[in-house]
Amino acid sequence: MSPETRKNGGLILHIIITIYMFIGIAIVCDEYFVPSLEMICDVLQLTEDVAGATFMAAGSSAPELATSIIAVFVAKDDIGISGVIGSAVFNIMFVISVCALFAGHVIFINWWPLIRDSTFYCISICALLLTIYDEEVTWYESVFLLLLYVLYIVMMWYNSRLEAWANTLNVPFKNATREEKSSLFGSKPVPPMGDQGLKEGDAGSQDTEGQDGTGMRVQETAEIEGATNKVMAPEMKDDDVSPWTVPVGVWERFTWGMSLPLVALHHFTTPDCRRERFRRFYLMTFIMSMIWIAAYSYIMVWMITVIGFTLGIPDTVMGLTLIAVGVSAPDALSSLCVAKQGFGDMAVSNAIGSNVFDILLCLGLPWFIKTAITDPGVVVLVESRGLTYSTVSLFSTVIFLIAATHLNGWKLDKKYGVVLLFWYLFFMIFASLYELNVFGYLNPPECPSPY
């Protein structure tokens, strides 16, 4: 469309397509990606926090990887970096806030996964800051980011040993128990969970008898107990259930009709590993889910970029806000799904582990391909100086998250979720004002274009 056509109503089509892509990502995550992830973790006998920080983080960050590739090779602007920064804040604050608000019960978490992932996330922020500070990205800087991610995977490989060692330290952190009633955000007692959230496989099913006097969790090993810590296999689905069945109710029929093309597309291209006949094809389900998430993300970024250009909004602002929300939809949906099942550590580790993946791999890999393979010797330019300040301010989100969680007794409840939500809104407003040059000339204007 020409600029005149978009300004005279054609932009509505771009908005509709963007929303439809959001719906597509939601369907893939809920119906295919999360079940396949649960089966992979169940087969590999991974603990919930390691699963969240690795497989779930990598899979749900497929949109960020697609966005970064588009930014480096197609758009050739800062929308990839701004999208990753915005996504990082979204994951740290908004995703964990959503889990706390809508999980349906209080979630108790272990201190080790949060401190472990937050520490490496801070290292990733430092690496990104050193990379973009001179406004150029070279091949050896991209290699450094990739090597850091390899180190992160190695650390996850030895996670059980590191956790056993960490639990012997005299640290000020401790795990919340169901009997604890103190809270930063009010003195109202936390009711005992009882049978709520204590279903088979829930994280809350760990009793307090395995803790010492200081509240530290004694390391449990599945080998000794003869069973895995968690049972994360997805719920079986009846093979006779048809996606073509028209539901009852006006709104249900409307949403069913709207999503029917997407449902049909995935029904014929992606095996549903929840069905008995497709349970052994969970790897194919995982791979196809990532492909579809990347495809939807490509179209979504395309549409959002056009919307921002037409309205005169800088790409960096669109990246920090709409694109960050769009590409982080899988993180929010997958984290909320596992949080409702009681896997609190997995939900939190997914949110923070996704940020590590976004910074080190989603940015590092496209930069490496560009500077070392397709165009050896060239550098990737970083136009907006405001992104450096936004990167520095990411440290505040980590510090705030750890402090709020510790003061709230290492549990996620609704009051805790509201506090994180307000902090997220404050950060986004502040970062957007940076990119709009309210605090100085930090983001150069875009060149005029006939398109």
How many beta carbons lie within 10 A of that of residue 421, not counting itself?
17
By CB atoms closer than 10 A (0-12, 13-18, 19+), residue 156 is buried
Give me the domain span that covers residue 307. Answer: 3-435
Q: Give the model's confidence band at 428: pLDDT under 50 very low, under 70 low, under 90 confident, else very high.
A: confident
225 domain residue, yes or no: yes
- Please say if the pLDDT value at position 205 is more than 80: no
The tens digit of pLDDT for each residue in 389-401 reads: 777 778 888 888 8
pLDDT surpasses 90 at 169: no
The C-alpha atoms of residue 142 and residue 126 are separated, in whole angstroms, by 14
| Residue-level pLDDT at 174 | 61
Using the structure block, give the residue that is written with the tokens 């996504």. Answer: 87
Q: Which amino acid is at 261?
A: P
Average pLDDT of the chain is 76
- In CATH, what number is assigned to the domain containing residue 201? 1.20.1420.30
pLDDT tens profile 256-310: 888 899 999 998 999 998 888 888 898 999 889 888 887 887 788 788 878 888 8
What's the pTM? Answer: 0.69
pLDDT at 196 > cutoff 70: no
Q: To 5 degrees, how large is the angle CA 146–CA 149–CA 151?
A: 115
Q: Establish if 72 belongs to a structural domain.
A: yes
Question: Has residue 81 been placed in a domain?
Answer: yes
Neighbours of 151 (CB within 10 A): 13
* Residue scoring higher pLDDT (201 or 417): 417
In a domain, 254, yes or no: yes
113 vs 74, residue with greater confidence = 113
Q: Is residue 443 part of a domain?
A: no
Higher pLDDT, 176 or 53: 53
Domain count, the chain: 1
What's the pLDDT tens digit per position in 324-371? 777 677 677 778 877 887 778 878 887 888 888 888 988 898 899 988
Give a yes or no: residue 441 inside a domain.
Answer: no
Residue 127 falls inside a structural domain? yes
pLDDT for res 77: 66
Give 241-265 pLDDT, tens digit per residue.
677 888 888 888 888 888 899 999 9
Contact predicate 105/193, CB 8 Å: yes
The answer to whether the beta carbons of residues 359 and 119 sit under 8 Å apart is no
Q: Within a domain: residue 164?
A: yes
Q: Return the closest-CA partner of residue 90 out of 356, 326, 439, 367.
A: 326
Q: Is 429 exposed, middle or buried (0-12, 13-18, 19+ CB in 10 A)?
A: exposed
